[in-house]
């Protein structure tokens, strides 16, 4: 059993579910169960805070809490709300959650950034030197850019214009579903977007995240890129793990030292 200081607590706030759990920061694995509650509708700050408080209580967790949002978050304040209620914009998320959890220490970060931290420390980016770029393909496209484990937060590459259209409107996995595209023709769209990213950022590795990365063998081989690309390893726990790392100030280097 990991000691105090080797454990953290993360909550991943998504469009359909709010998921949380205790994380072993030596391994990046969950200790015990992942607790999931359906995202309340409308997904307003107060409704989400209440849901998150239930998860913390159910887990019996007493310490600091890290949370993700599908938003640009700077110094605890929410600046965008792509797939959650628009009333989040302008909310001081740290204050909101800290009040909901009885005044404890809270860290809030972008969902893809959290997944990137986790994959870089424990998953597909582990031991990779240089620039790692994680993209999550879901309702939108989330991005995380890390250089030797150091995150450049809030990159929002899903909103970059590629051939006159926002990248996520062209190549999120929701576009595949909506248009009924085959893996192969969707992969052409993803290639177009990732080529643009590699032209501008020259990453050493792409990590493909989001639910569709579970079926990576169906579409990753169809991509035509200069940069190596691998599926994410942590899948549905990456956000929780990254949030817990952020709450405990655990960088990739710190995680390696703990393990
Ligand atoms: C949002 C990002 C988020 C991504 C994945 C995008 O639409 O702008 O902040 O990381 O979706 O949820």
- Does 178 reside within a domain? yes
Tell me whether residue 122 is in a domain.
Answer: no
Q: Are residues 185 and 222 in the same domain?
A: yes
d(CA 136, CA 206) in angstroms, rounded, equals 11
Angle (deg, nearest 10), helices 238-247 and 111-122? 90
- 189 & 241 share domain: no
In angstroms, how far is CA 59 from the centroid of its own chain?
A: 21
Question: What pLDDT was estimated at residue 82?
Answer: 84
- Asked if residue 42 has a cis previous peptide bond (ω within 30° of 0), the answer is yes
Domain count of the fold of the chain = 2
Asked whether 34 and 21 are in contact (CB, 8 A), the reply is: yes
228 φ/ψ angles, rounded to the nearest 5 degrees: -60, 145
Statement to judge: residues 243 and 228 lie in one domain? no
Q: Is residue 120 part of a domain?
A: no
pLDDT the model gives residue 252:
59
Q: Is residue 52 part of a domain?
A: yes
The confidence score (pLDDT) of residue 5 equals: 74
C-alpha dihedral, 74 to 80 to 83 to 88, nearest 10°: 80
If asked whether residues 157 and 192 sit together in one domain, one would say yes
Residues 224 and 242 in one domain: no
CATH number of the domain that 73 lies in? Answer: 3.30.420.40
CA distance 228 to 245: 26
- Token pair, residue 131, equals 């620039």
Note whether 224 and 245 are same-domain residues.
Answer: no
Q: Is 158 in the pocket of ligand 1 (CB under 6 A)?
A: yes
Q: How far is the CA of 126 from the centre of ligand 1 (A)?
A: 23
Q: Ligand 1: distance of its center to the CA of 215 in Å? A: 21
Residue 176 CA, chain-centre distance (Å), reads 20
* pLDDT for the residue 2: 78
Angle at 67 between CA 64 and CA 72, to 5 degrees: 135
CA of 179 to the centre of ligand 1 (A): 20
Q: Of ligand 1's atoms, which has the minimum distance to the CA of residue 72?
A: 9
Specify whether 62 is located in the same domain as 138.
no
> Does 90 lie in the same domain as 58?
yes
* Ranges in the chain, pLDDT < 70: 251-259
In a domain, 119, yes or no: no
Residue 105 shares a structural domain with residue 15: yes
CB of 70 closer than 6 angstroms to any ligand 1 atom: yes
The answer to whether the CB of 210 falls within 8 A of the CB of 137 is yes
**Parent domain of 149:** 127-232
Q: The pTM is what? A: 0.96
Name the one residue in this structure whose structure tokens are 């949002």.
Answer: 69
Closest residue by CA, ligand 1 atom 8: 82
Q: Do 79 and 161 belong together in one domain?
A: no
Write down the pLDDT at residue 83: 82
Closest alpha carbon to 237 in 148, 94, 150, 121: 121
pLDDT of residue 251: 64
Predicted local distance difference test score (pLDDT) of residue 245: 96
Answer yes or no: is the C-beta of 82 below 6 A from any ligand 1 atom.
yes
DSSP-derived secondary structure for 45-90:
HHHHHHHHHHHHHHHT--S-EEEEESS-EETTEE---SSS-GGGTT
Residue 39 CA to residue 60 CA, distance in Å, equals 21
- Which pLDDT score, from 0 to 100, does residue 254 have? 59
Pair type for strands 106-110 and 131-137 = unpaired
- Note whether 123 and 238 are within 8 A (CB): yes
Do 153 and 104 lie in one domain? The reply is: no
Q: Do the domain assignments include residue 121?
A: no
Q: Are residues 198 and 132 in the same domain?
A: yes
Q: Which residue has the tokens 């639910």?
A: 211
Does residue 81 fall inside a structural domain? yes
| In contact, 77 and 6? CB cutoff 8 Å | no
């Amino acid at each position: 059993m990991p000691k105090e200081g080797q454990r953290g607590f993360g909550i991943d706030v998504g469009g359909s579910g709010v998921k949380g759990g205790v994380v072993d920061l030596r391994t990046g694995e969950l200790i015990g169960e992942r607790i999931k509650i359906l995202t309340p509708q409308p997904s307003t700050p107060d409704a989400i805070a209440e849901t998150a408080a239930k998860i913390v209580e159910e887990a019996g967790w007493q310490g600091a809490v890290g949370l993700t949002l599908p938003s640009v978050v700077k110094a605890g304040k929410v600046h965008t709300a792509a797939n959650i209620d628009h009333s989040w914009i302008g909310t001081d998320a740290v204050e909101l959650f800290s009040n909901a959890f009885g005044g404890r220490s809270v860290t809030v970060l972008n969902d893809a950034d959290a997944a990137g931290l986790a994959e870089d420390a424990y998953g597909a980016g582990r031991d990779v030197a240089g620039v790692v770029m994680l993209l999550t393909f879901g309702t939108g496209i989330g991005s995380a850019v890390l250089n030797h484990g150091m995150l450049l937060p809030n990159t929002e590459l899903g909103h970059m214009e590629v051939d006159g259209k926002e990248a996520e409107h062209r190549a999120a996995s929701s576009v595949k579903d909506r248009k009924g595209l085959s893996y192969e023709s969707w992969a052409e769209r993803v290639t177009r977007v990732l080529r643009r990213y590699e032209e501008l950022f020259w990453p050493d590795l792409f990590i493909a995240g989001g639910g569709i990365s579970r079926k990576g063998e169906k579409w990753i081989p169809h991509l035509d890129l200069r940069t190596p690309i691998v599926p994410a390893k942590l899948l549905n726990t990456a956000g929780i793990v990254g949030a817990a790392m952020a709450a405990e100030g655990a960088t990739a280097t710190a995680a390696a030292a703990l393990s």
